[in-house]
Chain A
């Protein structure tokens, strides 16, 4: 998995399998976290977000889990499809009170879906 500030890792999964992308964040005071998907040649697209008062949030085929004790965030993608191949970024907001200017992005994890 990725950690804000480390190299870009790669995760390869078979089509139809579930994938889990991990992210370690650094600031225990961060109260908002967000996942973006970036396909080749495109800008980051919002996937799902979660506030620190929650442990889990579900979307369509995606689930984000937050473990504040160990400062860990994960993105689970169910029944992966070829279109899920992309780089996935997590970001934390280190600034209390909101405002996207406080977002700090990780370098991302490259998810490859094998046919």
Chain B
């Protein structure tokens, strides 16, 4: 069981650059969640998908953030243009249906200089 796989593990970029974070959910899971974790705000839900369809993106901070799920085994979170305040750890998680137990990936540590 490979678990939720995220890439890259670390990303350092300069302000204004485009950043793309990637996630492969657990096979068979049909819900996928993107979270952002900071010391100040803890874990915040950005967006989640069910059966590859975005259900709620109200947590996405602003239009600079976008997420896609082109198929059941892949999702991306894109920030364009990136800003220093976007620096955080971004987690992807998946689960099945209305199950409340989430399985998290190892996260992407993003630093925007």
Contacts and interface: CB of A to CB of B under 8 A. Distances in A.
B101 A46 contact: yes
Interface stretch (A20-28, A62-70, A92-100): A92-100
B97 to A, nearest CB: 8
A98 B100 contact: yes
Nearest to A43: B104
B29 to A, nearest CB: 11
Contact of B106 (A32, A34, A36, A42): A42
B102 interface: yes
Interface bin, chain B: 20 to 34
A46 B103 contact: yes
B106 to A, nearest CB: 5
Interface in B17-51: 31, 33, 39, 42-43, 45, 48
B42 A103 contact: no
A40 B4 CA distance: 17
Contacts, number: 58
Chain A contact residues, majority secondary structure: mixed
Interface residues of A, number: 24
Contact of B95 (A42, A45, A100): A100
Interface in A83-114: 89, 93, 97-103, 105-108
A101 B56 contact: yes
Interface of B: 4, 31, 33, 39, 42-43, 45, 48, 55-56, 91, 93, 95, 98-107
11 contacts: A36-B104, A43-B106, A45-B104, A49-B101, A98-B98, A99-B98, A100-B33, A100-B101, A101-B45, A102-B100, A107-B39
